[in-house]
Structure 1
Amino acid sequence: MKYAPVYVLLVIAVFYNSCQGQNKTDLPKATTNSETDITSREFSSVTRTITQDRKGNMWIATFGGVFRYDGKSFTNITSQVSSAPFFSVLEDRKGNFWFSSVGSGVYYYDPRQADGKAFQNFTTRDGLASNQVTYIYEDKTGAVWFSTVSGASRYDGKSFRNYLMNEDFEGFRPNDHNEVNSIIEDKTGKFWFGTKGRACKYDGKTFTVITHDGKPFTNVRSIIEDKKGAVWLGGSDGLWRYDGGTFTNLTQDFVGYIIEDKKGNIWTSSRNVKDGSWILSCYDENSLSSEKPAVKEIRPNLGMIFGISEANDGSIWFGSGGVYRYDGNTITDFKKKEDQK
């Protein structure tokens, strides 16, 4: 089933072509102008992940299903598969897709197959650590990793292997350490795991807890490695950059998502500690090595901001109670007409 897109322009001051500028420049709050058209009610629900495939389609994981957007219309790919909330989408190196859900495990989708054979569902019955899966990552060997509330699962195409981080720390429940939010493989082949309880690194044999000032990180929501090899961590302790020897704190605001764009700028979603508002921030690539890099902030006047992604045209997509696209001048909101009343 396909739906026509809805455009609601949130007009803000002209932002930038890059992230160059004064340190921490706040932009005016957006004003809203409504257009007419209708998309699906599910598409107005919470959106957790947005990514672009190699053909240029945008894939959007929402609590109402996984949608594909071809630039003209939206298709709910999972409408006949599951009613569970979807959290993450991955296109693997073979062009197949993986969808994670909270409640129904993981779905493998081969778009080249007929409808009856396109989907395959993996759950705890198949060896998955938990049916509550929030994130998907493909490593250098082509194995696919899944972040679950009960540990990390690695699938090599034949079977699952599960990983637990069981060490206890004062003030944290053991289960928090195994509630995995993010996974990356760095340039050296080591894996980094962000969990509700801490962050740790895995060398293939041993898990090592990552600390700053002698303390473990708490509730790490996102980890990335940038083009220069620096590792970024975001969560309850704010935003941190690790250059291989030193951790540098860039903000103490809660950070939910981190990406690096094509120019090397770092984008984050964060919750301001003073007023509770959610901010989309861009840290200028030219000043990232400094203790206080230049940062531009967009305040779209929304709730939580999820799933930041850069499209091929340089626009920034992000999720909240719907789907939004930022082109440097305006934010486009795709939403059901009746939801605007």
Structure 2
Amino acid sequence: MKGQSYKSKFNFLLPAILLIGFISACADSGKSKEPTEEVQVKSKKDPFPLKYTSGIRSILEDSKGNIWFGSHQEGAALFDGDELTYFTLENGLSDNQIRTIYEDDSGTIWFECGNGLSSYDGIRITTNAERDYSSKNEWKLSDNDLWFKGDEGTGFNTREGQPGVYRYNGNKLIYQIFPAELKAGEENYYSVTTPLVKGEDNMIWFGTYGAAIGYNGKDFKIINNESLGLTGDTGALHIRSLFYDSKGNLWIGNNGIGVIKYDGENTINFTKLHHLKKEETKGYSLDRIFSIGEDNAGNIWFGTHQSGVWRFDGESLTNFTKEDGLESNHIWTIYQSKQGELWFGGASPSGVYVFNENSFERKY
């Protein structure tokens, strides 16, 4: 069945579904462990398919052609084209929640976990404990930097002192704090919730619960409730995804108020503009956005919680749900493969899906 289209000028009544209450996207993924020495990897190998149940939270296709999958609560998996190898706390990971996976210039794989940070050199997993806290305010930027959230699931620990991020410059992890003044009750407001994205003019963007923070090596740009004119009555940011498209737009996906689009000068509430708030649709909406991507044709894709996937072609939006082969009702991540294929990592049930012209099918 083809997805149902929605023209941006009109309201449409969508199929009614029972809305499920708010879930904590950053719930504890399991008991974390203290930093340890390197651990020789001896992990379970299984044939296909991927056997996760908690959801696919992150994906990476590395320089060797391997595909890595990070789960919400069950560790990481490596697919070498023939079989799957699973890695968990028992193999040295600092946590079983894998939020983001990166590869550095040396080919080392980095796992940004719910708690802590781990890396894999092809032989061993290391829980990385060494940190430099001596230059928290001395922000720097280079092309080969990797950036990671703080060590805690939310908030910050005593060594970090304030919300911020770790910059890995190829030699060490340096903690740098965000240029923000915390108010009472905002201890988790600047906890990083999304992978880093890179935009124009050398700008990098961090997504936190309550702000999108951009840095270009000299200056910061902060998009928050205050800059958007949001109050408790008009809604508030709860950022779950960031994406920078080929046209220079920053897309900010929220769990509650939908999509904010920033063109470098102005911001608009994209969800409100297209009349896709849940109170307007009474069914599938564009309110709870956990992932955003772009295909080779320039279409923007939005992965939601409980409302399937939406595709925007520049004029209209099309909604794809279980009737279109999309079994997962929570799309954590949208990843573009080296071949240009979009992979949609979902939960409930877990799986990685691809879109084939008119419908979805499971790939992993």
Name the TM-score, length of structure 1 as normaliser: 0.70
Aligned to 2:229: 214
Aligned counterpart in structure 1 of residue 79 of structure 2, from 62, 69, 73: 69
Q: CA deviation at 1:228?
A: 1.7
* SS of alignment partner, residue 331 of structure 1: strand
**Larger RCO (CA within 8 A; separation ≥ 6):** 1
Q: Distance in 2 between matches of 1:298 and 1:89?
A: 27
Give yes or no for contact 1:165–1:177 (8 Å, CA) kept in 2: no
Kept in 2: contact 1:153–1:160 (CA 8 A): yes
| CA gap 1:298/1:187 in 2 versus in 1, 3 angstroms | same
Taking the aligned partners of 1:332 and 1:41, their CA distance within structure 2 comes to 11
Q: Which residue of 1 aligns with 2:66?
A: 57
Partners of 1:145 and 1:122 lie apart in 2 by 14
Structure 1 segments, 4+ long, off by >4 Å, are 24-29, 37-42
CA RMSD of aligned residues (A): 3.5
Q: Distance in 2 between matches of 1:155 and 1:224?
A: 22
Preserved contact between residue 122 and residue 128 of structure 1 (Cα < 8 Å)? no
Q: Match for 1:120 among 107, 122, 126? A: 126
Q: Residues 200-228 of structure 1: CA distance to partner in whole angstroms, max 9, x if unpaired?
A: 22343554422554349612222221112
Deviation of the 1:169 alpha carbon: 7.2
How far did 1:313 drift?
5.9
1:214 counterpart letter in structure 2: G
Partner of 2:268: 248
2:113 pairs with 1:92: no
Residue matched to 2:354: 326
TM-superposed CA distance for 1:241, in Å, is: 1.7
Gaps of 5+ in 1: 1-12, 30-36, 130-138, 272-276, 288-292, 335-341
The alignment of Structure 1 onto Structure 2 pairs a total of residues equal to 282
Percent sequence identity over aligned pairs: 23
Report the alpha carbon displacement of residue 70 of structure 1 after superposing the two structures with TM: 3.6
CA contact (8 A) 1:97 1:109 kept: yes
Alpha carbons of structure 1 residues 278 and 53: separation in structure 2 relative to 1, 3 Å? farther
Q: Secondary structure in 2 aligned to 1:67?
A: strand
| Alpha-carbon contact 1:235-1:254 (below 8 Å) kept | yes
Contact kept in structure 2, 1:145 and 1:152, CA below 8 Å:
yes
Match of 2:180 among 167, 179, 201: 167
Structure 2: gaps spanning 5 or more residues: 18-45, 135-140, 157-163, 272-276, 278-286
The CA distance in 2 between the partners of 1:142 and 1:64, in whole Å, is: 29
Alignment of structure 1 residues 1-341 onto 2, 5 Å: 13-14=1-2, 23=7, 43-62=52-71, 63-78=73-88, 80-82=91-93, 84-103=96-115, 105-111=116-122, 115=123, 118-123=124-129, 125-127=130-132, 141-148=143-150, 149=154, 150=156, 151-165=164-178, 167-168=180-181, 173-182=185-194, 183-211=196-224, 213-215=228-230, 218-236=237-255, 237-251=257-271, 252=277, 253-271=287-305, 277-284=306-313, 287=314, 293-300=315-322, 302-311=328-337, 312=339, 314-321=341-348, 322-328=350-356, 329-332=359-362
**Does structure 2 conserve the Cα–Cα contact (< 8 Å) formed by 1:165 and 1:207?**
no
Q: What SS does the aligned partner of 1:233 have?
A: strand
